[in-house]
Structure formats: C-alpha cells, structure tokens
Structure 1
Amino acid sequence: MLKYMLMIVFSTFLLCGCSYSEEKISTFEGQIDYVSGKQIKVDCSNTVAANSEESGDQVGVGYICFAAINGQTKLEDNNGNSLSINDFTIEDKIKIFLESPKNIGKSLESRKFTASKVILIKASPAPK
C-alpha cells in the first residue's frame, strides 16, 4: 500500500513538473519591423519570452511576428480614429489584436496570424 501511494505521489510530481502549456495570446504590443499593404512584421520577442518555458536573456532576442492585414482588419490610433496601412511605419509602437487567440512561440508557424485590429500606440519620430 505504501509503495502504491509513493508511486502515485511520484507520478503526480513527475507529470506536474514535465507538463507545460503555452498561454494562448489574443493581443500583444511590439515595435514595427516592416510594413507592406497586406502584412505588418512586428518584434514579438517579449511575447515569445513570456510564453516560453525557458528563461534567460537569449529567449527574447530577435523574434518577428507576421500579422496579415485584410479588409476586415481595423487600423486605428489611440483615440479610435481610423487609419490606413500607410499611416504605420517602421519603429512605430503598436498593439495587435489577433483574429483568434493562439500560442505564440519560437516556431515560425506560431508567429504567423491574421490581425483583427491594429492600434498605433506611439508613432516613430519623423526622419530629419
């Protein structure tokens, strides 16, 4: 009986220690790396790091997310005013709302999604 109880306790600890599930993300903030008519590439390193089982400085370095923009994607400023894709530029800080929540991680496929809304939080300084 004691062996059976110890085996159950050990199995429980083993399962709890080894099971890891990424959190499904529905929105995150980042800085624009590239903008085209149908896609915004945004630095999502902090999101990947927060959603990773690993810790350390190298986890959050250099991850780009690919947000597809379509006719249903709302583009707005902080005050809710409508914008066009041309109002977004490299280094702008934005908030992206995913069309459906997903696990954003290190794999390239996990970092590709369609945006339902993009909010311009802070525009980058105009070039001199």
Structure 2
Amino acid sequence: MSSLPHIPVVWQTTLLLTASNVFMTFAWYAHLKNLNDRPWWIAALASWGIALFEYLLQVPANRIGHSEMSLGQLKILQEVITLTVFVPFALFYMKQPLKLDFLWAGLCILGAVYFIFRSP
C-alpha cells in the first residue's frame, strides 16, 4: 500500500480512520433511529451496505499506519477516533443527553494514548 509522501503517515491514517469511523458509527447505530419500525434483517442489510464504505477506508488506513505504527498504537488511535466521532453523533444525530461519563471515558483513553505511544 503506497501512501502520499507529502502527508505524514500518522495524519493519513488518522484522516482515513476518521472517515471510516463516521461510516461505521452510522452502520452500527443509525438504524436505531431510522429503521426502528422495520424488521432487524432490513436494518442489518442497510448497515452492511454502509459498512462496505467503512472497510474501503479502514483497510488502507491500517495498512498505511502499520508502516510506522505498532498494532497497539493503531488500535488505541482507532479508539480515540471512535470516541471523537461517537460523542457528536450521539449528541446531535441521536439526540442523546450529554453525560459526564463521556469526559471520564475520554480521560481514560488519553491515558491509554500516553502509555501506548510513550517511548520504550
């Protein structure tokens, strides 16, 4: 997998993973709002259709990122992005209330970022 030489690998990976996470968040949760009155298998088919686009971004992101990051670093980066995408999705799209638990979860993930990216 080739990467764009003028954009640092970590940024390429972050941008692709962020875009893929937007698709995956919608694939996993939007059916709870939009297809709640339909059979589960229709929601599953719609989710799989959305998830295809997630995979078209996620696979190259991880291949590019793995050229400079460890597997653990890629996973923690993905978790940070997941929370960063999920909180606005929950608040603005799903109309969920803001909870202090989002902050605590974010702080825990920041701790994970510190430990996984610190020098050996």
> TM-score by structure 2 length?
0.28
Higher helix share: 2
Higher strand share: 1
The structure with the largest alpha-carbon Rg is 1
